[in-house]
């Protein structure tokens, strides 16, 4: 009898221990899910590079800039529960023009290039009206808990300079615009004092210090203009904006490479002038992804790697190598030198460590091996990039 009672007691104790262990396991699991579910959850806005486009452009429906041959990265990120948007900034004009357009798309306002700047470069002061069609609502506003809604900015190629310049204008404004414009007519963008609205900046294949290909632009533009590749005119109906896109691209050859053009900003001189007015801010997280599609060749000369380089980038890769100022600049992705894509010269930088990320320092991620458009999905052959972008977004969202 006593033996049976002991067996029952042992059975009950075993059951109790099992229940406790299960409860502890469930408790741990729920806790882990809760922690993983936390995040800043700020929207991610992706900004196109030179000759690029975004969601406001009809051509995006044919081939999304962000994803190209791999499928729309934005849709993929949205399916994972993230807010993701693609801005549409001018494909060929300066970083300043593009930053103004990005600001208007974030705020849902009329593009204001500034009274002083528009007169300086010879363009109309005001551009497109984005009233009622901002990329998302509530940027810079506080929620019920008093948390300010910031934005995560990611820029491919020349989009990197665009988002960096926007951060500087938000913080410091523009003294020339303040001097030239009556206070009641001044855009908040040029007033300054609006720092703290950008959570992170991620640059992808961006020419922070210019590109050697940019040094070849005078010759390229002269040849293009000689064969008539100047500003295309007309309003020919086309499927989903293809002709509109070609017209926008052709404006590059009409604008040339003077100040006010993107082609000038990617030269060594133009990039240095931009960098002089764009500091690295202590409250912003910075990430960069350098790219490379070259391999060692004879006599220490780097050549395009056919397995990593789209056919349209074979010649531009060679040009970028030939115009490199020194051997360290020979590695490139067909348009942007690898070393230039790491971080602006003189700014604090370190090798990316997922367990050691601090604001105010450029976290340089591993080199992405592929040509200039491989990192956005590839132009003629698919490159899988969705998981790559999800990893970046997940990394930033927990900071």
Mean pLDDT computed over 274-283: 97
SS3 174: coil
**In-domain check, residue 229:** no
Percent of the chain scoring above 70 in pLDDT:
81
DSSP letter assigned to residue 155:
E
**In-domain check, residue 30:** no
For residue 345, CA distances in Å to 70, 142, 174, 197, 287 come to 33, 35, 23, 25, 15
Q: How confident is the model at residue 34 (pLDDT cuts 50, 70, 90)?
A: very low
Contacting residues for 384 by C-beta, under 8 A, at least 6 apart: 70
Q: What span, in angstroms and rounded, lies between the C-alpha atoms of 165 and 356? A: 26
Mean pLDDT computed over 293-321: 95
Q: How confident is the model at residue 232 (pLDDT cuts 50, 70, 90)?
A: low
Mean pLDDT computed over 383-394: 98
Domain total for the chain? 1
**In-domain check, residue 27:** no
For residue 212, give the nearest of 146, 281, 269 by alpha carbon: 269
What average pLDDT does the structure give for the chain?
Answer: 87
Mean pLDDT computed over 315-342: 96
Q: What span, in angstroms and rounded, lies between the C-alpha atoms of 286 and 202? A: 6
**In-domain check, residue 50:** yes
Torsion of CA 229, 230, 234, 238, to 10 degrees: 40
Q: Are 190 and 173 in contact (CB under 8 A)?
A: yes
**In-domain check, residue 331:** no
**In-domain check, residue 311:** no
Question: What is the number of residues in the chain?
Answer: 399
> 198 or 220, which is more confident?
198
Q: What span, in angstroms and rounded, lies between the C-alpha atoms of 155 and 48? A: 6
List the single range of 50-54, 186-190, 232-236, 348-352 with lowest mean pLDDT.
232-236
Q: Are 316 and 233 in contact (CB under 8 A)?
A: no
SS3 12: helix
> 19 or 389, which is more confident?
389
Q: What span, in angstroms and rounded, lies between the C-alpha atoms of 385 and 56? A: 22
> 338 or 14, which is more confident?
338
> 87 or 25, which is more confident?
87
Tens of pLDDT, residues 80-90 = 999 999 999 99
Mean pLDDT computed over 230-241: 57
Tens of pLDDT, residues 102-160 = 999 999 999 999 999 999 999 999 999 999 999 999 999 998 788 999 999 999 999 99
Specify the pLDDT at position 143.
Answer: 84
**In-domain check, residue 277:** yes
Residue 269 φ/ψ, nearest 5 degrees? -65, -45
Handedness of CA 383, 387, 391, 396 (dihedral sign): positive
Specify the pLDDT at position 110.
Answer: 98
Specify the pLDDT at position 248.
Answer: 63
Q: Which domain holds residue 355?
A: 41-211+269-291+337-397
For residue 86, give the nearest of 99, 73, 103, 69 by alpha carbon: 73
> 37 or 53, which is more confident?
53
Q: How confident is the model at residue 349 (pLDDT cuts 50, 70, 90)?
A: very high
Specify the pLDDT at position 38.
Answer: 76
Specify the pLDDT at position 218.
Answer: 74
Mean pLDDT computed over 255-263: 81
For residue 375, CA distances in Å to 57, 209, 308, 330 come to 21, 20, 11, 19
Q: Are 371 and 314 in contact (CB under 8 A)?
A: no
> 1 or 301, which is more confident?
301
Specify the pLDDT at position 48.
Answer: 98
Task: Answer yes or no: is pLDDT of 362 > 80.
Answer: yes
**In-domain check, residue 283:** yes
Say how many C-beta atoms besides its own lie within 10 A of residue 13's C-beta. Answer: 10
For 242-280, give the DSSP string: HHHHHHHHHHHHHHTTSTTBHHHHTSHHHHHHHHTT-PP
Question: Please, where are the H alpha helices in 173-261?
Answer: 175-180, 188-191, 212-215, 217-226, 242-255
For 314-369, give the DSSP string: HHHHHHHHHT-SSGGG--BSSSSBTGGGT--TTS-EEE--TT---TTSEEEPPPEE
List the single range of 52-61, 176-185, 289-298, 389-398 with lowest mean pLDDT.
52-61
Task: Answer yes or no: is pLDDT of 28 > 50.
Answer: no
Percent of the chain scoring above 90 in pLDDT:
74
The CATH number given to whatever domain includes residue 67 is: 3.40.50.1820
């Amino acid at each position: 009898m006593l033996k049976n009672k002991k067996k029952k007691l042992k059975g009950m104790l075993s059951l109790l221990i099992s229940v406790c262990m299960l409860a502890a396991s469930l408790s741990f699991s729920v806790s882990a899910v809760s922690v993983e579910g936390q995040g800043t959850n700020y929207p991610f806005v992706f900004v196109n590079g030179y000759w690029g486009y975004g969601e406001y452009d009809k051509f995006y429906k044919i081939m999304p800039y962000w994803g190209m041959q791999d499928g729309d990265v934005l849709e993929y990120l949205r399916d994972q529960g993230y807010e993701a948007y693609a801005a549409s900034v001018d494909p060929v004009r300066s970083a300043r023009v593009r930053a103004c357009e990005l600001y208007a798309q974030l705020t849902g306002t009329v593009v204001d290039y500034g009274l002083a700047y528009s007169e300086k470069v010879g363009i109309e002061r005001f551009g497109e009206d984005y009233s009622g069609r901002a990329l998302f609502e509530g940027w810079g506003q506080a929620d019920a808990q008093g948390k300010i809604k910031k934005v995560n900015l990611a820029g491919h190629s020349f989009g990197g300079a665009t988002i960096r310049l926007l951060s500087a204008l938000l913080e410091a404004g523009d003294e020339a615009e303040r001097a030239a414009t009556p206070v009641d007519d001044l855009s908040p963008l040029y007033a300054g004092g609006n720092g703290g609205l950008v959570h992170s900046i991620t640059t992808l294949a961006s020419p922070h210090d210019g590109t050697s290909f940019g040094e070849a632009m005078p010759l390229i533009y002269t040849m293009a203009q000689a064969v008539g590749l100047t500003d295309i005119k007309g309003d020919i109906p086309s499927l989903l904006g293809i002709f509109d896109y070609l017209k926008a691209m052709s404006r590059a050859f009409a604008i040339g490479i003077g100040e006010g053009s993107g082609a000038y900003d990617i030269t060594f001189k133009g990039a240095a002038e931009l960098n002089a007015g764009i500091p690295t801010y202590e409250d912003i997280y910075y990430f960069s992804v350098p790219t490379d599609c070259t391999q060692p060749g004879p006599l220490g000369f780097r050549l395009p790697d056919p397995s990593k380089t789209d056919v349209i980038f074979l010649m531009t890769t060679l040009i970028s190598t030939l115009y490199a100022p020194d051997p360290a600049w020979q590695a490139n992705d067909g348009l942007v030198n690898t070393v230039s894509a790491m971080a602006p010269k003189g700014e604090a930088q370190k090798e990316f460590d997922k367990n050691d990320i601090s604001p105010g320092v450029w976290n340089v991620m591993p080199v992405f091996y592929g040509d200039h458009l491989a990192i956005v999905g590839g132009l003629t052959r698919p490159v899988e990039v969705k998981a790559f972008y999800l990893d970046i977004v997940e990394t930033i969202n927990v900071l």
